[in-house]
Amino acid sequence: MHSIEIKDISKKYIISRYNDNRQNNSIRESISNKIKNVFSKKTRDNKREEFWALRDVSFNVNIGDKIGIIGKNGAGKSTLLKILSRITNPTSGSITLNGRVASLLEVGTGFHPELTGKENIFLNGSILGMKKNEIKKKFDEIVAFSEIEQFLDTPVKRYSSGMYVRLAFSVAAHLEPEILLIDEVLAVGDAQFQKKCIGKMESASKEGRTILFVSHNMGAIKQLCSRAVLLEKGKVKLDSNVDDVISNYFEDVVTDTSFEMEFDKKDRVENLYKVYINKISFPNKLALYKMWEPINMELEIDNLSNMDQEIIAGLTILSVDEYPAFSVESEDCGHKLFLKNNSRTNIKISIPYPNLAPGKYFIRIGIRAGLNVIDFKDRTLHFEIQSGLNTYPTKNFIHGMKAQSKWEY
């Protein structure tokens, strides 16, 4: 008997201009959009586009299985989880869930800032599907797990974010469903508490609980799951043991090397300084370097404010499985970057001795003013370091730093 049977699940979304404008920030905007839409009713329908977030996804999960769902952004992981937790309905297909289901798409769903920690335990517990008696019975355990006993009668709006997450996760960790659906929630909280939570979930699965875990954190997936499903563009690409699927996923990420990346102005998160990263590129138009070969990059930063600004820019080079190799900062050479008002600044960055082992890497960029982070871009350019010799195995990923060394015998 299967714990979860997923059969030919598809989910279609209609994307349209009309829908984009629906998130109106102001009443005025909203009315003007409504009026625009009234006058352009016909064109509105033409702008509708179908988007299949999931297409004929089928797989079964055995009772007690711990299964990881991985894939790039937009592969359909979260949609699948939303359908499984009955938040949204599939367009076609069917799912059978055998047992009590709890889904953790977020920790602290329904937490109310005005209520005290104690009140929120009851509220959140019941939202997650616990019965009142169950919460009462586990109350002491939940409080002990959260390590915030002394703040139980304080409204959670006065909590630090760490305390908030601890409390929220403690409630969730004490659910006792037969099927647990988890989305990326482990990304929050401090490392030690994360470990505790993974431990708690592992012990949960040893009791025969089925866990379906969506994450970008391959480390956590590897630690928790024995099997994984790789989704790509709404379809199941690979369903196998966790190591195979993860290495397949990385190979996939790796093929997407890129030498230029421009960031959409629409996606800019507004900041006080009005300074934004616009573009990063490799001027040699290649995302391929030999070992020890200097890496040159160009970074474009827009200063949209009427004031000149002084900032610090930094890059971190990480291996595709997200182990940081090293980072460089403009501050390293002792000066701040000067951005003239209302203009674009082109910065040339060069790393003369990148001590990188052969493998695949990506760049994370951040700019800051003093200690304030202004703009941040994760997973920008992906590139590859080749050994130049054929003796290096490329598949096994000897990532990380290389150091100058001597071998004598």
Partner 1 sequence: MNTSKITEIKSNNKFSNYWKEIWDYKELFFFLAWRDILVRYKQTFFGIAWSIIRPLITIVVFSVIFGKVASLPSDGIPYPILVIAGTLPWQLFSTSLSEASNSLISNSNMITKVYFPRLAIPLSTIVVSIIDFAISLVILICVMIYYAYIPSWQILTLPIFILIAILASLGGGIWFSALNVKYRDFKFVIPFIVQFGLFVSPVGFSSSLVPGKWKLIYSLNPMVGVIDGFRWAITGKESSLFAEGFMVSLIIVLIIFFSGIWYFRKTEKTFADFI
Chain residues binding partner 1 by CB under 8 A are 13, 22, 24, 27, 30, 34, 82-101, 103, 105-106, 109-110, 112, 114-115, 119, 122-123, 126-129, 131-132, 178, 207-208
Output the smallest distance, CB 29 to partner 1, in A: 11
Q: By three-state DSSP, how is residue 237 classified? A: strand
Selection from 119, 83, 89 nearest residue 101 by Cα: 83
Query: What are the backbone angles phi and psi of residue 307, rounded to the nearest 5°?
Result: -120, 150
Nearer of residues 88 and 240 to partner 1, judged by Cβ? 88
| β-pair partners for 49 | 15
Nearer of residues 9 and 317 to partner 1, judged by Cβ? 9
- Give the integer Cα–Cα distance in Å for 183 and 176: 17
- Give the integer Cα–Cα distance in Å for 140 and 239: 40
Distance of CA 185 to the CA centre of its chain: 10
- Give the integer Cα–Cα distance in Å for 182 and 406: 48
Nearer of residues 24 and 342 to partner 1, judged by Cβ? 24
Nearer of residues 48 and 100 to partner 1, judged by Cβ? 100
**In 10 A of CB 33, how many CB atoms?**
16
**In 10 A of CB 142, how many CB atoms?**
19
Output the smallest distance, CB 199 to partner 1, in A: 21
Output the smallest distance, CB 39 to partner 1, in A: 16
Nearer of residues 111 and 282 to partner 1, judged by Cβ? 111
Nearer of residues 93 and 314 to partner 1, judged by Cβ? 93
C-beta pairs of 166-171 under 8 Å, 24+ apart in sequence: 166/193, 167/108, 167/117, 167/120, 167/121, 168/107, 168/108, 168/111, 168/124, 169/107, 169/108, 169/193, 169/197, 170/142, 170/143, 170/145, 170/146, 171/108, 171/121, 171/124, 171/125, 171/128, 171/142
Output the smallest distance, CB 252 to partner 1, in A: 29
Output the smallest distance, CB 197 to partner 1, in A: 18
Nearer of residues 21 and 258 to partner 1, judged by Cβ? 21
Output the smallest distance, CB 166 to partner 1, in A: 19
- Amino acid (one-letter) located at 308: D
Output the smallest distance, CB 200 to partner 1, in A: 18
Selection from 188, 17, 182, 23 nearest residue 101 by Cα: 182
Nearer of residues 83 and 320 to partner 1, judged by Cβ? 83
> Helices (DSSP H) in 161-241: which residue ranges?
161-173, 191-206, 218-224
Nearer of residues 114 and 270 to partner 1, judged by Cβ? 114
- Give the integer Cα–Cα distance in Å for 350 and 238: 39
Output the smallest distance, CB 123 to partner 1, in A: 5
Output the smallest distance, CB 47 to partner 1, in A: 17
Q: By three-state DSSP, how is residue 342 classified? A: coil
